[in-house]
Amino acid sequence: GAVVSQHPSWVICKSGTSVKIECRSLDFQATTMFWYRQFPKQSLMLMATSNEGSKATYEQGVEKDKFLINHASLTLSTLTVTSAHPEDSSFYICSAKFTGEETQYFGPGTRLLVL
Amino acid sequence: AQSVTQLDSQVPVFEEAPVELRCNYSSSVSVYLFWYVQYPNQGLQLLLKYLSGSTLVKGINGFEAEFNKSQTSFHLRKPSVHISDTAEYFCAVIGVYGYSTLTFGKGTMLLVSP
């Protein structure tokens, strides 16, 4: 149980285009989902926390207009990187948790390469 | 706020040897503790967690960890490692009652050689 999927697993795009990444909880309802970014050989950096039906809470230094997060249902959150640039290239990982529990279950990650 | 220190960035070990990956934390509130494993180009998989109760926690793949409140540590151990255990291991903490976000250590790369 507690499986989280991400799609796509990798994406290559041209600079200036927008990319959408989906995060789904497959076998549970996730009232809260999280988006992380991971640079090579580094730890995870929390970008934002999203609760179903409400606006995401972004961490300091994360541009909310650049990284659009939508959590429209209890099983789906999306991260859209708008007008992507090479510096946005990274590994993006989502996680989800049950209501009332602090354990986060992570997706397999999405590798974004912006050319 | 919490912080997590993983003292070893890399731990090389031979197959079938025991291993300990160290994790220390600091926090002004009580915490829940987690160990996650990340294989190359993959997401994080939960190894084990401490929420309450017995301070010795057993997880998947033969790993266990012991919560030591006085030393603010949560070291991960395995009595006999396999080649397949080669991966990055992250220790993470979060304040009880959700008063904080999940804070990760910088990770420890476990390198198991034959």
What pLDDT does B98 receive?
65
Q: Which of B45, B49, B104 has the CB atom closest to A44's CB atom?
A: B104
Q: Which residue of A has its CA nearest to B94?
A: A102
**pLDDT given at position A98:** 83
Whether residue A80 has pLDDT greater than 80: yes
Judge whether B10 and B111 are in contact, CB under 8 Å: yes
Q: How far is residue B48's CA from residue A103's CA, in Å, rounded to a whole number?
A: 10
Chain B: nearest CA to A17, how far in angstroms? Answer: 24
Report, as an integer, the average pLDDT of A88-111: 91
* Contact in structure between B90 and B102 (CB atoms under 8 Å): no
Q: What tens digit of pLDDT does each residue of B19-40 get?
A: 999 999 999 888 999 999 999 8
How confident is the model at residue A2, as a pLDDT?
86
Q: Is the peptide bond before A8 cis (omega within 30 degrees of 0)?
A: yes
Based on the number of CB atoms within 10 Å of its own CB, is B56 exposed (0-12), middle (13-18) or buried (19 or more)? exposed
Burial readout A85-103 (b: 16 or more C-beta within 10 A, e: otherwise): eeebbbbbbbbbbbeeebb
Other beta carbons within 10 Å of B1 = 11
Choose the closest CB to B101 out of A6, A46, A103.
A46
Question: What is d(CA A103, CA A74) in angstroms, rounded to the nearest whole number?
Answer: 17
**What is the arithmetic mean of pLDDT over A103-115?**
94
pLDDT band for position A31 (cuts 50, 70, 90): confident
Kindly report, residue by residue over A34-72, the tens digit of the pLDDT: 999 998 888 999 999 998 888 899 999 999 999 999 988
Q: What is the DSSP string of B59-85?
A: -GGG-EEEEETTTTEEEEEESS--GGG
Per-residue pLDDT band for B83 (boundaries 50, 70, 90) equals very high
Mean pLDDT, chain A, as a whole number?
92
CA angle B107, A102, B87 (to 5 degrees): 25
Question: Tokens standing for B79?
Answer: 């009595």
- Closest-CA residue of B relative to A111 is B41
pLDDT digit string, tens, across residues B31-79? 999 999 999 888 899 999 999 899 999 999 999 999 999 999 999 999 9
What pLDDT band is residue A105 in, cutting at 50, 70 and 90?
very high
Using CB atoms, pick whichever of B49, B101, B106 lies closest to residue A103.
Answer: B49
